[in-house]
Chain A
Amino acid sequence: MRIDEHPVLSFERGEKINFFYNGQEIEAYPTETIAAALHAAGVRKLGESPELHRPRGLFCAIGNCSSCFMIVDGEPNMRVCVMKVRSGMRVEEQRGKGVVGI
Chain B
Amino acid sequence: MKNRDAEIMICRCEDVTRETILKCIAEGYQTLDEIKRVTRAGMGPCQGRTCRQLIAAELSRHYGMPMEEVMMTTFRPPVKPISLGALADAYEHERTGHKHEKIV
Q: Check if B13 sits within 8 Å of A51, measured CB to CB.
A: no
Q: CB < 8 Å: which of B12, B14, B17, B81 contacts A67?
A: B12
Indicate if the CB atoms of A65 and B14 lie closer than 8 Å: no
Consensus secondary structure, chain B interface:
loop
- In the complex, chain B residues whose CB is within 8 Å of the CB of A51: 14-15
Q: What is the number of residues of chain B that contact chain A, defined by CB distance less than 8 Å?
A: 12
CA distance A77 to B80 in the complex (A): 12
Q: Do residues B49 and A64 form an inter-chain contact, with CB atoms below 8 A?
A: yes
The count of residues in chain A whose C-beta lies closer than 8 Å to any C-beta of chain B is: 14
Grouping DSSP codes into helix (H, G, I), strand (E, B) and loop, the A interface class, with mixed when no group exceeds half, is loop
Interface string of B29-57 (1 = CB under 8 A from A): 00000000000000011100110000000
What residues of chain B have their CB less than 8 Å away from a CB belonging to chain A? 9, 12-15, 17, 44-46, 49-50, 81
Binding site for B on A (CB under 8 A): 49-52, 54, 56, 59-60, 64-67, 69, 77
